[in-house]
Structure 1
Amino acid sequence: MANGRNGNGDLNFEADLFKAADKLRGNLEPSEYKHVALGLIFLKYISEAFEAQRKKLEQEEFADLEDPEEYLKDRVFWVPDIARWSYLKDNARARDLKIIDPVTNKEKKVDIGGLIDAAMEAIEKANSTTLKGVLPKDYGRPALDKEMIGDLVELFSDVTMHVEGEKARDLLGRAYEYFLSGFAGAEGRRGGEFFTPRSVVRVMVEMLEPYKGRVYDPCCGSGGMFVQSEKFIEDHSDQQHVEEAKRQISIYGQERNHTTWKLCKMNLAVRGIDADIKWNNEGSFTRDEFSNTYFDFILANPPFNVSDWWRESLAEDIRWTEFGTPPQGNANYAWLSHIYHHLAPRGTAGVVLANGSMSSQQSGEGEIRRKMIEEDAVDCMVALPGQLFYSTQIPACLWFLAKSKSANGHRDRRGQFLFIDARKLGVMVDRTRREFTPEDIEKIAGTYHSWRNKDGGYEDVPGFCKSASKEEVSKHGYVLTPGRYVGAEDAEDDGVPFEERISSLRHTLKAQFEQARILESQITTNLLRLAE
């Protein structure tokens, strides 16, 4: 980035920063390098937050600057001397630095990699309730280029040039999220396992509007659903009361991949988001960490079409009592049942699934879908365009579920379903991937709200959206593919009378047939000449 990576007035500083950092990784694989870069951004963030709090305390007459509680009470991590960014920056080229090991309390010599490991250990030790076992601590391994680490420390040191306080922390949060996105793109299919594209999440969040209550993701990846939920509150709240508004939601998540769980914990910490994120290697089906908890909003992008999810212990599970036991060879309807089970009495959910979930009849899926429709569990279906995701080219859709569709602050939509065909929306941001624009997001979410809310002024739009009755869905065999309901887009009226248009088409067709006969004659003549 020219003239400093400060983000001050530069909306693309994250992209420039990522490009600069990516140049430093050399032959290191993106899947490995992401933990190096993201760990350093995390260190930079908590150090910025610590220093900002320290400046505030300096203005207070009786504050003890060296008391960790003075920081923790305001949700700021305590950062020991050895982990403060200014110290790391001063020693970015260290080779034989003497430090006191935070684990053994003995003196040892380290390079910059070993110093960062010691910093991570010290931070975890000082904030064990929140960060124990979360931070990466393998910067000192011999295979990692210490010149590259030093370059990264100096690169990230420039992020907040001319920017201070909360603004600096927000820039680092933006950088962390952008880096997650960049690494997901670089890793392709594997990257999609920890990151859902932001524009897709924004559609879901804008539709569900999680202003107040419990928010849950049973396969939370790196926490993008939670980041965008809080971003929604920031965008739709009085700026003087944003922090108060944020406290109106509680966040819960579960993730079975331990490395991804670490990314999530750091991502939320960088954003200053309090959350209860559980990890176990069995997953939400076999070991549901929130089995007795119900949520107002659920957002999820579970892995598509998982075939090895079933365990015999799940045979009589309470989550299948509503719609029936899901097929053992595909987890799609297991996710829907799990999510619906965890909805509070007026809870709503948004779920990303493969398109096949809307129409499959295999292994009883059609019967489960029929029961969901008959019991009014489905609220809205959105068909998505291709190339939105890093992890798969399988066409995807959004399911929106509702525990109750009766009129309670909303229009009574019992027995009705909204279908939105968004396959023509979005723009290509590179050769392989598409994104929704802000206008696309507003169009989709606005359509849903006008349908769902009282006096919303909803109207069907041929080719885009349709409000269908339970009887109509039944006639379509309980298939939920939006294209079956929205119909074709109205042709634009060019003012030409129908008879005149048909006559013109007839003349055009006649001329094309004549041209085809001439070409056929010429080809036949040429073939005969070749045969002589």
Structure 2
Amino acid sequence: MLAWLDRRVVPANARRAEEPAGTTYGDRLRISLGGTSTGALLKAVDRLSDAQTERWRGGLSHADYLTVLLTLVYVRACLPEEWKRILSESRRPQFPHSGQLLVRILARSVGRELGDAHERLLLALSQNLGDSRVCDIVRLLDDTGPVDRAEHAQAGERLLSRYSDLVGRRAGDFFTPRAAVDVLATLVADGSDDVASVHDPFVRAGELLSAAWGAVAQAQGTAPRASGAGVGEHPLALAAMNLALHGVSAAHLVPGGTTPSAGTDQERQSFDRIVTNPPFNVRLERPVEEGHWRYGSPPLHNANFDWLQYAVTRLREGGRAAVLMPDIAAFSANPSERRIRAAMVEDGAVEAVIALPAQLFTTTGIRVSVWLLRHPTGACDDILFVDASRLGSLVSRTRRELTPDETRRVLDAYRAWTAARAAGRVFAGAEGLSRAVPVEAIREKDYVLSPAFYVPSGEPSENRAADPADLMALAGQLTELDERAREADAAVAELLGRYGL
């Protein structure tokens, strides 16, 4: 019955004064029964952030307007007393309808929870609103009636998604793909018991930290502490609101950097669980001092093993981490990276490597892998390899997603392996998907950790032109040479610039 009513929109001439456009008869029935108007807030947010954006954003850029709108949704959900104050101000008959004034009130309302940086940001944005009718936005959001926290969280995700679309290629530095979030969060939470802390040292918009926090809380029945670090005051404020909308209201977020060896993150604290999608293949600002990390200094041109060693070093005894890495980290021929990779394997720090499909990110087709790490045990017996690179399907011309069933297959492979180990049984693996490999075989492959090296594809081929391992090694060498060529080009351009050429 409700499903049928949800498909019937109340006509404009039949809507009540408090009902926004798009209200269904299902929404009306839920409210009459004391429930929430499911979907009403989402419909209002869609109107405000898409079709009618130009009507309200004044002199703000579209992205800055979305920041203001997300802040309003956050206050409505998480700061009810402040929301009542803002709503009261917007309804005053003598209110001059100044968007600037109302957003200044909004800024002061969130300063205590989100910090001075977000308050300063909103105060700066208010200068560009002029006579924009922000009061109408407030009333429209409030007129959606009773809305639960889950719908507020959905509204926040929708606004962040639109923000991602607007920032274009920079979105790759801001968001983690949903498929990767689901895999990392569930893997790191599996078997959680007495987990007190979850940390993301490169928190982006908080999507990975909130998912991991929620998965751990669900697995063990109690909520852990959440913390993270990020680059830039604006992204940190967006992350704080996103986390709060998902129930992580007390997350401790601090400024961080694009490389962890700088030591700005969390004052060398340790954690039970770490999840992160750090920036890929970034150059270190300066050489890492010998002895700074457990397994040696990473090369200056690439911070991938700076991040991997950070995760291992910051784990408490019994702790586990899930780190998203570009595929090249698993088979790079760079001597420093190979040495670190070998030391991590021999020390028992690497538990599993899972290859995900290409094109998960909106802005790049790069292939990525999940490194499942643990507090070092001092010795390695075997490592699980899962090759999910052939899974997924295109949802657009450039982007691929994993279905829930495919994600479940990956997680089931990991759980079957851990169950076999606990029972002292040999893990059979699944053809074309998973295999447990003893450390002796990994040594023979010179510590290459790409699942493609160890998991047979299960597809017969009569004409094999080359061994996949050889092709992978060549690809790694070509990638490194390409990186060095770009560095050389940049150095030459700088020298030419000095002489005005």
For 1:327, the aligned partner's letter is P
Equivalent positions of 1:505-520 (< 5 A) are none
Structure 1 residue aligned with 2:455, among 486, 504, 514? Answer: 486
Q: Per the alignment, do residues 44 and 324 of structure 1 end up closer, same or farther by CA in structure 2, a change over 3 Å counting?
A: same
1:434 and 2:400 equivalent?
Answer: yes
Q: Residues of 2 paired with 1:18 and 1:170: CA distance?
A: 16
Q: Which amino acid aligns with 2:126?
A: G
Candidates 254, 272, 280, aligned match of 1:278: 254
The amino acid across from 2:186 in the alignment is E
Match of 2:446 among 471, 477, 499: 477
Change (3 A) 1:268 1:327: same
Aligned to 2:361: 389
Deviation at 1:19, TM superposition (A): 6.3
Kindly indicate whether the alpha-carbon contact (under 8 Å) linking 1:117 and 1:139 is maintained by their aligned counterparts in 2.
no
Aligned-pair RMSD on alpha carbons? Answer: 3.2
CA offset digits 1:491-516 (Å, max 9, x no partner): 6xxxxxxxxxxxxxxxxxxxxxxxxx
The question of whether the paired residues in 1 share the 8 Å contact of 2:256 and 2:264 is answered with no
Query: Could you say if the C-alpha distance between residues 404 and 171 of structure 1 is closer, same or farther in structure 2, counting changes exceeding 3 Å?
Result: same
In structure 1, what is the equivalent of residue 23 of structure 2?
A: 3
- Does residue 297 of structure 1 match 2:299? no
Partner of 1:189, secondary structure, is helix
Residue aligned with 1:134, SS = helix
Aligned position for 1:444: 410
Task: Give the aligned partner of residue 518 of structure 1.
Answer: none
By how many angstroms is 1:218 displaced? Answer: 0.9
Shift of 1:476: 1.7
Q: 2:41 & 2:370 partners in 1: Cα distance?
A: 32
AA of the residue aligned to 2:452: G
Aligned to 2:127: 141
Deviations 1:323-364 (A, max 9, x none): 110001111111111111111111111111111111111252
Counterpart of 2:328 in structure 1 is 356
Match of 2:91, as an amino acid?
A: D
Which of 234, 237, 253 aligns to 2:228? It is 253
Alpha carbons of 1:487 and 1:195: their partners in 2 closer, same or farther (altered >3 Å)? same
**1:96-135 aligned within 5 A:** 97=95, 111-124=98-111, 127=112, 131-135=115-119
Q: Name the counterpart of 2:429.
A: 460
* Paired amino acid for 1:347: G
Against the structure 1 CA distance between its residues 131 and 470, is the aligned structure 2 distance closer, same or farther, given a 3 Å change threshold?
same
Structure 1 partner of 2:241: 266
CA distance in 1, matches of 2:53, 2:371: 39
Residues 364-421 of structure 1, C-alpha deviation per residue, up to 9 Å, x if partnerless? 2112112112222111111111111134322111111112469xxxxxx942011111
Task: Kindly indicate whether the alpha-carbon contact (under 8 Å) linking 2:381 and 2:438 is maintained by their aligned counterparts in 1.
Answer: yes
SS at match of 2:354: strand
Given that 1:227 and 1:268 are in contact with CA atoms closer than 8 Å, whether structure 2 keeps it comes out as yes
Q: d(CA) in 2 for partners of 1:479 and 1:15? A: 50
Distance 1:379 1:144, change over 3 A: farther
C-alpha change, 1:371 and 1:236, in structure 2 (3 Å) is closer
TM-score of the aligned structures, taking structure 1 as reference length: 0.71
The residue type paired with residue 261 of structure 1 is L
Alignment of 1:51-70 (within 5 A): none
Q: Hey, what's the Cα distance between the residues in 2 that align with 1:256 and 1:400?
A: 24
Work out the number of aligned pairs and report it.
421
Secondary structure at the residue paired with 2:407?
A: helix
Assess if the C-alpha contact under 8 Å between 1:197 and 1:388 holds in 2: yes
Alpha-carbon distance, 1:300 to partner: 0.5
Does residue 1:42 correspond to 2:18, yes or no? no
Pairing 1:284-363 to 2, within 5 Å after superposition: 284-307=260-283, 309-311=284-286, 314-316=288-290, 318=292, 320=293, 322-362=294-334
- In the aligned structure 1, how far is the partner of 2:106 from the partner of 2:37? 32
1:217-236 matches, within 5 Å, as 217-233=200-216, 235-236=218-219
Q: Secondary structure at the match of 2:398?
A: coil
Task: Tell me, yes or no, if the aligned pair for 2:387 and 2:451 is still in contact at 8 Å.
Answer: yes
One-letter amino acid of the counterpart of residue 357, structure 2 = P
| C-alpha contact (below 8 Å) 1:254/1:284 kept by paired residues | no
Find out whether 1:369 has 2:356 as its counterpart: no
Pick closer, same or farther for the CA change 1:30–1:123 going to 2, 3 Å: closer
Find the aligned partners of 1:400 and 1:426 in 2 and give their Cα distance: 21
TM-score by length of 2: 0.75
Q: 2:275 is matched by which residue type in structure 1?
A: L
Q: Any idea what SS the aligned residue of 1:315 has?
A: coil
Could you tell me which of 205, 210, 215 is aligned with 2:198? 215
Q: Is the 8 A contact 2:184 2:212 kept in 1?
A: no
Look at both structures and tell me which one has the larger radius of gyration over its CA atoms: 1
Q: Tell me, what secondary structure is at the counterpart of 1:190?
A: helix
- In structure 2, list runs of 5 or more residues that go unmatched: 1-20, 31-35, 461-501
Return closer, same or farther for 1:474/1:282 CA change in 2, 3 Å cut-off. closer
Question: Aligned with 1:265: secondary structure?
Answer: helix
Q: Say which is worse superposed, 27-36 or 333-342, in terms of deviation.
A: 27-36
Give the stretch that moved more between structures: 482-491 or 293-302.
482-491
Distance 1:151 1:21 in 2: 14
Structure 1 residues 281 and 451 mapped into 2: Cα distance closer, same or farther (>3 Å)? closer
Report % sequence identity.
25
Residues of 2 paired with 1:144 and 1:395: CA distance? 46
5+ residue gaps, structure 1, are: 51-78, 98-108, 407-412, 492-532
Farther-moved stretch of structure 1 (351-360 vs 176-185):
176-185
SS in 2 for 1:266: helix
- Corresponding residue for 1:157? 142
- Over 3 Å counting, the alpha-carbon distance change for 1:282 and 1:371 in structure 2 is closer
Q: Which residue of 2 aligns with 1:21?
A: 49
Local SS of the residue matching 2:118: coil
Aligned-partner Cα distance in 2 for 1:437–1:476: 32
Cα pair distance change 1:486/1:283, threshold 3 Å:
closer
**Could you tell me how far apart the structure 2 residues matched to 1:202 and 1:15 are?**
26
| Equivalent position of 2:88 in the other structure | 87
Cα displacement (A) at 1:42: 1.4
Task: Give the superposition deviation at 1:293.
Answer: 1.4
d(CA) in 2 for partners of 1:442, 1:116: 44
- The 3-state SS of whatever aligns with 1:33 is helix
C-alpha distance in 1 between matches for 2:454 and 2:40: 40
1:219-242 deviation line (CA, Å, top 9, x unaligned): 1112112211233246546xxxx6
Query: What corresponds to 2:470 in structure 1?
Result: none
